[in-house]
Amino acid sequence: MEIVETGWETKGYLDIPVDPTLDLVREIDKLKREKNAVLLAHYYQDSDIQDVADYIGDSLGLAQQAARTKADIIVFAGVHFMAETAKILNPQKKVLMPDAHAGCSLADSCPPPLFRKFKEQYPDHTVISYINCTAGIKALSDIICTSSNAVKIVETLPPDTPVIFAPDRNLGRYVMEKTGRDMVLWNGTCMVHEIFSQEKITKLRHRHPDAKLIAHPECEEAILEMADFIGSTTGLLKFTREDNSPVYIVATETGILHQMQKASPHKQFIPAPPDNLCACNDCPHMKRNTLEKVYTCMRYEQPEILMDKTILEQARKPIQRMLDISASLGL
Ligand code: 13P
Ligand code: SF4
């Protein structure tokens, strides 16, 4: 077994066979108490991980939890940029992730050296970056946002402020439409949200005329135009709780359906069909994490997020700015 960790490029995972007779939920709970560890999980995690987590949330909620936790160890069941954000907010704490290969296609679509050159073309612009990016991009940004606060964060700037928005072009376009502002967009996308099929969704709507289409703003423009409601994962969950439709077609990663179904057992939730051949909307990065890997990572305290100190310090400012603005707006 070899674990190689080099700053944000934390590599490897503990490929240790786990005794199949172990009660993993009990063991994870025991490890949490013994080590004063907190388990944070994104809504896109498998349901068994969500069920054992101390906190389940969207990217904003998870960053806020990471900022306020008193635990000594943060176990982050999500993808790399999320665990990295937790480390940036808690440089003294140990931050672990179950599988260090859990990356993000959207974050990968915006390499810092290219973005630096791009930014140089717009020297007067304020850089607002979606949290789904590497620490290197955060270090080059003025403010971070998530899908649940992007519109509000942009609106806090004076109307004539020139803005670069990176890396998600779909969220950027959606924010432009909501705020009526023009922004320079980086051309990045999420591999899960860009593949929903307009044609298949239309057919599904014919079969379920009482269904509402709800979509994450990372979806392509054509899907957002069809949607009855657009929101972050927390926003979509809240909408299905409060709305009275009996059926929803859900255009985002399927992990969120677990909480939707739990909150509204009498309603039907149908994953929006994608255009790909395997016909699923699972994020292959999020789904690298398993309950076994949560257990081994807590037991052996590996893989750990380690970061370059300078990047960490530079990346903290725009994240803190987002947290401060969000707190002042009651988000
Ligand atoms: P939110 O958590 O902001 O809804 O974003 C979804 C996502 O793509 C996370 O990777
Ligand atoms: Fe990245 Fe998309 Fe997966 Fe979220 S769902 S982690 S944006 S690839």
From the CA of 188, which ligand is nearest?
Answer: 2
Question: What pLDDT shows up at residue 280?
Answer: 85
62 lines ligand 2 (CB under 6 A): no
* Digit-coded pLDDT (tens) for 237-255: 999 999 999 999 999 999 9
The residue whose two tokens read 């289409």 is 213
132 lines ligand 1 (CB under 6 A): yes
Positions of E strands within the chain: 37-42, 55-57, 73-77, 94-96, 126-130, 143-145, 163-166, 184-185, 211-215, 229-230, 247-251, 268-271
Structure tokens at 150: 């992007």
Q: Which amino acid type is present at position 186?
A: W
Q: Which of 216, 260, 281 to mutate to test the pocket of ligand 1 (most atoms within 8 A of CB)?
A: 216
* 185 vs 171: CA distance, rounded Å: 10
Smallest CA-to-CA distance from 191 within 255, 253, 233, 264 is with: 253
Question: What pLDDT shows up at residue 15?
Answer: 67
Neighbour-count burial of 282, counting CB atoms closer than 10 A to its CB (0-12 exposed, 13-18 middle, 19+ buried):
middle
- CA of 284, closest atom in ligand 2: 3
Structure tokens at 293: 């890997």
Question: What pLDDT shows up at residue 6?
Answer: 36
Question: What pLDDT shows up at residue 12?
Answer: 46
DSSP-assigned states of every residue in 127-186: EEEESSS-HHHHHT-SEEE-TTTHHHHHHTS-TT--EEEESBHHHHHHHHHHHT---EE-
Atom 6 of ligand 2: nearest residue by CA position: 104
What confidence tier does 4 reach under pLDDT thresholds 50, 70, 90?
A: very low
- CA of 79, closest atom in ligand 2: 6
- Is-above-0.85 flag for pTM? yes
Is pLDDT of 182 > 70? yes
Weakest mean pLDDT among 10-19, 104-113, 148-157: 10-19
* 139 vs 194: CA distance, rounded Å: 27
The mean of the pLDDT values for the chain is: 94
Smallest CA-to-CA distance from 313 within 139, 127, 69, 143 is with: 139
What confidence tier does 68 reach under pLDDT thresholds 50, 70, 90?
A: very high
- In the chain, the domains with their CATH numbers are 3-103+285-307 (3.40.50.10800), 106-191+316-329 (3.40.50.10800), 198-271 (3.40.50.10800)
Weakest mean pLDDT among 42-56, 148-162, 277-291: 277-291
Using a pLDDT cut of 90, give the percent of the chain over it.
Answer: 92
Neighbouring residues of 120: CB distance < 8 A, sequence distance ≥ 6: none
Question: What pLDDT shows up at residue 178?
Answer: 97
Do residues 154 and 163 lie in contact, with contact meaning Cβ atoms separated by under 8 Å?
yes
Question: What pLDDT shows up at residue 226?
Answer: 97
Neighbouring residues of 245: CB distance < 8 A, sequence distance ≥ 6: 210, 211, 212, 267
Distances (CA, A) of 59 to 43, 131, 155: 9, 8, 20
What confidence tier does 13 reach under pLDDT thresholds 50, 70, 90?
A: low
Instruction: Tell me the Cα Rg of the chain.
Output: 20
Is pLDDT of 139 > 90? yes
Do residues 11 and 100 lie in contact, with contact meaning Cβ atoms separated by under 8 Å?
yes
Q: How far is the CA of 51 from the centre of ligand 1 (A)?
A: 19
Structure tokens at 127: 């850089």
Is pLDDT of 290 > 90? yes
User: What does the pLDDT average to over 153-166?
Assistant: 97
Question: What pLDDT shows up at residue 1?
Answer: 30
* Digit-coded pLDDT (tens) for 196-239: 999 999 999 999 999 999 999 999 999 999 999 999 999 999 99
Question: What pLDDT shows up at residue 319?
Answer: 98
DSSP conformational letter for 74: E
Question: What pLDDT shows up at residue 279?
Answer: 73
287 lines ligand 2 (CB under 6 A): no
Question: What pLDDT shows up at residue 10?
Answer: 45
Question: What pLDDT shows up at residue 301?
Answer: 94
Question: What pLDDT shows up at residue 277?
Answer: 78
Is pLDDT of 34 > 90? yes
146 lines ligand 1 (CB under 6 A): yes
The residue whose two tokens read 């990045």 is 188
